A and B are shown apart, each in its own frame.
Chain A
Amino acid sequence: MSEHTEHTGGEGDALIIRDVRILGAEPTDLRVENGLIAEIGPQPPGGRSVDGGGAVALPGLVDLHTHLREPGREDAETVQTGTQSAARGGYTAVHAMANTSPVADTAGVVEQVWRLGLEFGHCDVQPVGAVTVGLEGRQLAELGAMADSAARVRVFSDDGRCVDDAVLMRRALEYVKAFDGVVAQHAQEPRLTEGAQMNEGVVSGRLGLTGWPAVAEEAIIARDCLLAAHVGSRLHICHVSTAGSVEIIRWAKSKGWNITAEVTPHHLLLTDDLVEHSPAGAYNPIYKVNPPLRTRADVEAVRAALADGTIDIVATDHAPHPVEDKETEWSAAAMGMVGLETALSVVQEAMVDTGLLDWAGVAQRMSVVPARIGRLAGHGRPIEPGAPANLTLYDPAARTLVDPAAFASKSRNTPYEGMTLPGRVVATFLRGKPTVLEGKLT
């Protein structure tokens, strides 16, 4: 597939995207004009065009949980490289988490990140604001100032840390109602996870690594669901990883409470026994992540929950780290995995190829609903005339050997190195402008 320019006149900046299967349907063509989808249906030859080669067309993916690391850890990732990585993964918008240095807890920092996103233009960058000053869990950050800033923050999170003080969490949930915000909670009871290294279970017991028990996640989720119901607020739960969490969320949703939840690609595919047995050797911190990889039963539960809507969305928790922070003994290593460039392939492997989701379901969970939770008006719209031309073209028949050296991300900490995953992002369009063509950044 490549971009052909044949000036046949009279088309302005129109772009024809030929031979794509919208949400996996029969092949058709799209005409894009002024950044919008102008028409769907067979297009006459000629004009500036891109051949989709029968790829599946999805609305541009939206990540609700990305660590871009700038400002502060530009050695791991920058807004530029992180958004290049996002575009390569088929994303047209990412929510940049607040645990930078300085923390994104003021209007100044969120505006800085937002402007950097605009400047590079690989995808839209929507900053997330910290819930508490310095992520310290003591005093609310100026949430209103961040909401009113040019960055128009709507998602607030201390991600990386849990807002564990129940009163502070209640106040945050209540306060953000004034500007239709949502608190995205990193559910981790801190006392139950002091020094925690991996999922507490059979493997942690054998390996002598301090356990991170499922209950430490589930107890906070249960409490926060009750708090959100009590004050009538919107709650979003980050990176759900356990079967017990799924049951609690299912129960809370059955009450009609306004709760949404995400799961990461790695929690849909990988299990804690990789810490003991993997091609990368035992105790390889490439598998160290927070919340930790869980058991096969947990993986089955979060897949089923994503399929039935108990878990609303997939969010990457893209967490870049430099090599030296992973080439260490386990307990000294940083927690986290990069995920933007492999997310769609992992979701295909875990959800589509297993028959749990079709492409319309993937579009809901990786574009439409995350955009709705984040209140991103220009993203996650159905592929129809009049909608912004934010599009991802994806070839599910391709097979890709994961090669970290080929990533656009500055970091290489992927747990999928050497694995062959299904599918390949062939093109990404942000408001009609290609950011990726033939799998390469434009």
Chain B
Amino acid sequence: MNRHLISAGDLSRDDALLILDTAEELARVSERSIKKLPTLRGRTVVNLFFEDSTRTRISFEAAAKRLSADVINFSAKGSSVSKGESLKDTALTLEAMGADAVVIRHSASGAPHRLANWVHGSVVNAGDGTHEHPTQALLDAFSMRRRLGGLDGRRVTVVGDVLHSRVARSNVLLLHTLGAQVTLVAPPTLLPVSVDTWPCEVSYDLDAVLPKSDVVMMLRVQKERMNAAFFPSEREYSRRYGLDRDRFARMPDDAIVMHPGPMNRGMEIAAEVADSARSTIVEQVANGVTIRMAVLYLLLGGEIAQ
């Protein structure tokens, strides 16, 4: 594996499977009453969050703590960053503190690539702008594998704002690597112009794709897109691309529903669909901690004490 985890595209099939298998092993440990492992004792993990994301930060924090790493949370709000300190100076500060891994969330696509130029530790991308969110894709793949068995040949439909979605980018790359067939469904305004070069199928018609899906992953529609003429109205979006009860009924019986959260209930997903037994949304959160443990463990070269 690379020293960093910045793009899902950097993972070979073997790397990806190693992470998923390691996560399985760690999940068994998590079922014990004492969840903590001494693996990363004495190592320092910095959560560097330039964007508010309590869910993701907590997930990484729990993962690092279960591996006994020291965790420093560095949030941009109220710090020197909000006073105009550059990413480079922040990086040099972390470097001086001896961070072994930096988990970065940033609103600018590519910020983790830049950070990797300035720190010696491992950089883990916890979401960069509209680029990627590789640990989300890993936890999604992990959740799918647990529900469906393998991923080879599985048909995964990703629905929503692909253009601005880091979750979609990472999922397309990782699922392709793992042998799944991905179909993106969105209004044409929310697809990149070059989406035909991606390793996936594309459709504008959710109803045509649903019956052929083993997994339907709904993406969050950001409020700001609603006011920028990407689609005429929330209601029209919801009618054409929302996963409501009727559409849910047309999915194959064993197909599952996913959402990276946070959800707009009633917009891209109906509440009863989100809460159904075939929804993995809560599992995804739990699996997030496990997969992030596996990533930190593998990047920092820890050992699992049996």
Q: Do A and B come from one complex?
A: yes
Q: Which residues of A contact B (CB under 8 A)?
A: 197, 200-202, 204-211, 213, 281-284, 324, 327-332
Identify which of residues 105-149 in chain B touch chain A, using a CB-to-CB cut-off of 8 Å: 106, 108-111, 113-114, 116-117, 128-132
Q: How far is the CB of A283 from chain B (nearest CB, A)?
A: 3
Contact between chains at B197 and A283 (CB < 8 Å): no
Q: Which residues of B contact A (CB under 8 A)?
A: 86-88, 106, 108-111, 113-114, 116-117, 128-132, 164, 166, 169, 192-195, 197-198
Contact between chains at A281 and B113 (CB < 8 Å): yes
28 A/B residue pairs, CB under 8 Å, sorted by A: A197-B109, A205-B197, A207-B109, A207-B131, A208-B129, A208-B130, A208-B131, A208-B166, A209-B129, A209-B130, A209-B131, A281-B113, A281-B117, A282-B113, A283-B110, A283-B114, A327-B88, A328-B86, A328-B88, A329-B87, A329-B106, A329-B111, A329-B114, A330-B109, A330-B110, A330-B114, A332-B87, A332-B108
Contact between chains at B169 and A208 (CB < 8 Å): yes
Q: Chain B residues near A207: list those with CB within 8 A.
A: 109-110, 131
| CB nearest to B131 among chain A residues | A208
Q: In the bound complex, what is the Cα–Cα distance between A200 and B194 (angstroms)?
A: 8
Q: Chain B residues near A197: list those with CB within 8 A.
A: 109
Q: A209-B109, A328-B87 are in contact. List 19 more A-B contacts (CB 8 A).
A: A202-B194, A202-B197, A204-B194, A205-B192, A205-B198, A208-B128, A208-B132, A208-B164, A281-B116, A281-B117, A283-B110, A283-B111, A283-B113, A284-B114, A327-B86, A328-B88, A329-B111, A329-B114, A330-B114
Q: In the bound complex, what is the Cα–Cα distance between A63 and B192 (angstroms)?
A: 37
Contact between chains at B194 and A331 (CB < 8 Å): no
| CB nearest to A323 among chain B residues | B88
Q: How far is the CB of A307 from chain B (nearest CB, A)?
A: 29
| CB nearest to A194 among chain B residues | B228
Secondary structure at chain A's binding surface: helix, strand, loop or mixed?
loop
Known A329-B114, A330-B114, A331-B129; judge A283-B109 contact (CB<8 A): yes
Q: Which of A209, A282, A284 has the most CB of B within 10 A?
A: A282
| CB nearest to A200 among chain B residues | B193
Q: Contact partner of A330 among B108, B117, B194, CB < 8 A?
A: B108
Q: How far is the CB of A205 from chain B (nearest CB, A)?
A: 3
Q: How far is the CB of A203 from chain B (nearest CB, A)?
A: 8
Q: In the bound complex, what is the Cα–Cα distance between A197 and B106 (angstroms)?
A: 16
Q: Chain B residues near A332: list those with CB within 8 A.
A: 87, 108
Contact between chains at A324 and B86 (CB < 8 Å): yes
Q: Chain A residues near B195: list those with CB within 8 A.
A: 205
The 4 closest A-B pairs by CB, nearest first: A283-B110, A205-B192, A208-B131, A208-B130
Q: In the bound complex, what is the Cα–Cα distance between A207 and B109 (angstroms)?
A: 7
Q: In the bound complex, what is the Cα–Cα distance between A197 and B192 (angstroms)?
A: 14
Q: In the bound complex, what is the Cα–Cα distance between A324 and B128 (angstroms)?
A: 21
Known A208-B129, A208-B132; judge A331-B193 contact (CB<8 A): no
Contact between chains at B114 and A328 (CB < 8 Å): yes
Q: How far is the CB of B279 from chain A (nearest CB, A)?
A: 27
| CB nearest to B114 among chain A residues | A329
Q: In the bound complex, what is the Cα–Cα distance between A324 and B85 (angstroms)?
A: 11
Known A207-B109, A207-B131, A324-B86; judge A201-B114 contact (CB<8 A): no
| CB nearest to B168 among chain A residues | A208
Q: Chain A residues near B114: list those with CB within 8 A.
A: 281, 283-284, 328-330
Q: Chain A residues near B116: list those with CB within 8 A.
A: 281
Known A208-B169, A281-B113; judge A329-B192 contact (CB<8 A): no
Contact between chains at A206 and B86 (CB < 8 Å): no
Q: Chain A residues near B132: list those with CB within 8 A.
A: 208
Q: Chain B residues near A202: list those with CB within 8 A.
A: 194, 197
Q: In the bound complex, what is the Cα–Cα distance between A332 and B129 (angstroms)?
A: 12
| CB nearest to A280 among chain B residues | B117
Known A208-B166, A328-B88, A328-B114; judge A201-B108 contact (CB<8 A): no
Q: How far is the CB of A389 from chain B (nearest CB, A)?
A: 47
Q: How far is the CB of A97 from chain B (nearest CB, A)?
A: 27
Q: Contact partner of A331 among B108, B166, B192, CB < 8 A?
A: B108
Q: In the bound complex, what is the Cα–Cα distance between A140 and B113 (angstroms)?
A: 44
Q: Chain B residues near A329: list those with CB within 8 A.
A: 87, 106, 108, 110-111, 114
| CB nearest to A210 among chain B residues | B130
Q: Which of B116, B169, B194, B195 has the most CB of A within 10 A?
A: B194
Q: Chain A residues near B166: list those with CB within 8 A.
A: 208
Q: How far is the CB of A217 from chain B (nearest CB, A)?
A: 15
Contact between chains at B169 and A211 (CB < 8 Å): no
Q: Chain A residues near B109: list those with CB within 8 A.
A: 197, 207-209, 283, 330-331
Q: In the bound complex, what is the Cα–Cα distance between A281 and B113 (angstroms)?
A: 8
Q: In the bound complex, what is the Cα–Cα distance between A206 and B195 (angstroms)?
A: 9
Q: In the bound complex, what is the Cα–Cα distance between A201 and B166 (angstroms)?
A: 17
Q: Which of A207, A209, A281 has the most CB of B within 10 A?
A: A207
| CB nearest to A324 among chain B residues | B86
Q: Chain B residues near A208: list those with CB within 8 A.
A: 109, 128-132, 164, 166, 169
Q: How far is the CB of B181 from chain A (nearest CB, A)?
A: 20
| CB nearest to B110 among chain A residues | A283
Q: How far is the CB of B239 from chain A (nearest CB, A)?
A: 27
Q: Chain B residues near A282: list those with CB within 8 A.
A: 110, 113
Q: In the bound complex, what is the Cα–Cα distance between A210 and B224 (angstroms)?
A: 15
Q: How far is the CB of A194 from chain B (nearest CB, A)?
A: 9
Q: Contact partner of A206 among B87, B113, B128, B169, CB < 8 A?
A: B169
Q: Chain B residues near A213: list those with CB within 8 A.
A: 193
| CB nearest to B169 among chain A residues | A208
Contact between chains at A201 and B193 (CB < 8 Å): yes
| CB nearest to B129 among chain A residues | A208
Q: In the bound complex, what is the Cα–Cα distance between A282 and B166 (angstroms)?
A: 17
Contact between chains at A211 and B117 (CB < 8 Å): no
Q: In the bound complex, what is the Cα–Cα distance between A268 and B198 (angstroms)?
A: 28
